[in-house]
Amino acid sequence: MNRFSIIGAAHLDALVEGVDGTALHLGSTPAERIRLGFGGDALNEAVTLTRFGGAVDLISKIGTDSAGDMVLNFCRSAGLSVEHVQREDGLPTSMNIVLVDHAGERRFITDPNSSLRALALSDVLPLVASLSPVVCFASLFVFPRFRAEELAPLFSAIKQRGCLLAADMTKRKNGERLSDLAGVWQHIDILFANAEEAGLLTSATNVAQMAQELRNGGVACVVIKTGARGCYVASDAVTGAVPGCVSRACVDTTGAGDSFAAAFLFARAAGRKPDDCARFANAAASICVEHLGATTHVITLDKALARCRENYGAGFDAL
């Protein structure tokens, strides 16, 4: 079951390394390094899964401009299927500016009128019959055209086809609460969120309570990412914290959550239990933060398994 369909954003990233919070208030400021890369939650997950050995179909939307050409060329070079990456005339392909400070934390400058926000139900629903056994919608709340009214029929159709359905979350945009997506949660097999994102949706103050509220809402398995501390998993099979892996250094956290989600899904597709999936996901994320950009450094299956063995001991010889 190592075939995946990943739905979401794909774009260019201008990565600016070594800038602090005062940079935008100055007329001119030097950075340690500036480079062009490729990102977007769906693209990051898709590339990571491909590098682990998965067969990945990317479902996204970009423009017919030169930036879109660059995104497509990168996807093809990474081994992704781009049959379902749609192109729209007059739509600017998203180009995000990512400011990375000396602690590896990020600030984003985005264009809301670009392809970043353009994906709609009409772009995805006709593709349901061709989806892979494992599907991830990355990310909830990125696309304003995907409200609960659009997500519920799409997710229902995906589940009726027998797919394992995951969703990755970003911060809510319009004050949404758990109850606002009451018809959505029961379709989701695995939900990824960080503690801030989950806390905004729920009334809870700690990750265990957040996970339980999301479970009560209908999600089968809730995975809350807690940064360097690892993650918290709540499911029928496993509930509890899974400690993180030690990183050599934290250079840039861009894409770490996407690498985490991709690794969790890869292990899940291989038949691993949620706690082992979480360990493998922690390992991939710990490697990601050691490098600038989400996709510039190749995280191989062997590297992620080796990091697992370093931190968790035996049991990770293969997936």
The full DSSP string for 63-85 is ESSHHHHHHHHHHHHTT-B-TTE
User: For 261, phi and psi rounded to 5 degrees?
Assistant: -60, -45
Determine the straight-line distance between the first and last CA of the chain, rounded to whole angstroms.
12
pLDDT tens-digit map of 204-244: 999 999 999 999 999 999 999 999 999 999 999 999 999 99
Q: Would you say residue 121 has pLDDT above 70?
A: yes
The amino acid present at 30, given as its one-letter code, is P
| Tokens 């390394």 found at | 17
Q: Please say if the pLDDT value at position 305 is more than 80.
A: yes
Cα gap 18→32, rounded to integer Å: 5
State pLDDT tens for residues 190-211: 999 999 999 999 989 999 999 9
Type and span of the H or E element at 257: helix 256-269
Tell me: pLDDT of 72 over 90. Answer: yes
Task: Sketch the domain layout of the chain as residue ranges.
Answer: 3-8+42-90+118-312
Say how far apart CA 231 and CA 274 lie, in whole Å. 11
Task: Specify the pLDDT at position 253.
Answer: 83
Contacts 24+ apart (CB under 8 A), 270-276: 270/1, 270/2, 270/319, 272/319, 273/237, 273/238, 274/221, 274/223, 274/233, 274/235, 274/237, 274/238, 275/233, 275/238, 275/240, 275/242, 276/315, 276/316
Q: Please report, as a single letter, which amino acid is at residue 155.
A: F
Structure tokens belonging to residue 317: 């010889």
Beta carbons of 63 and 88 less than 8 angstroms apart: yes
d(Cα 160, Cα 190) in Å, to the nearest integer? Answer: 16
Q: Which of 5-9, 36-40, 108-112 has the highest mean pLDDT?
A: 5-9
Q: Using the predicted structure, report yes or no on whether residue 21 has a pLDDT greater than 80.
A: no
Per-chain mean pLDDT for the chain: 92
3-state secondary structure at position 259: helix
Inter-residue contact 45 to 6 (CB < 8 Å): yes
| pLDDT tens-digit readout, 140-180 | 999 999 999 999 999 999 999 999 999 999 999 889 999 99
Predicted pLDDT at 84 = 97
Is pLDDT above 80 for 1? Answer: no
308 pLDDT above the threshold of 90: yes
- Helix (H), strand (E) at residue 190: strand 190-194
pLDDT at position 256, please? 92
CA distance 5 to 273: 21
Radius of gyration over alpha carbons of the chain, in Å?
18
**Domain 3-8+42-90+118-312 fold:** UDP-N-acetylmuramoyl-L-alanine:D-glutamate ligase (3.40.1190)
Q: What is the pTM of this model?
A: 0.93
Ramachandran region, residue 40 (left: φ > 0; alpha: ψ -120 to 50; beta: rest): left
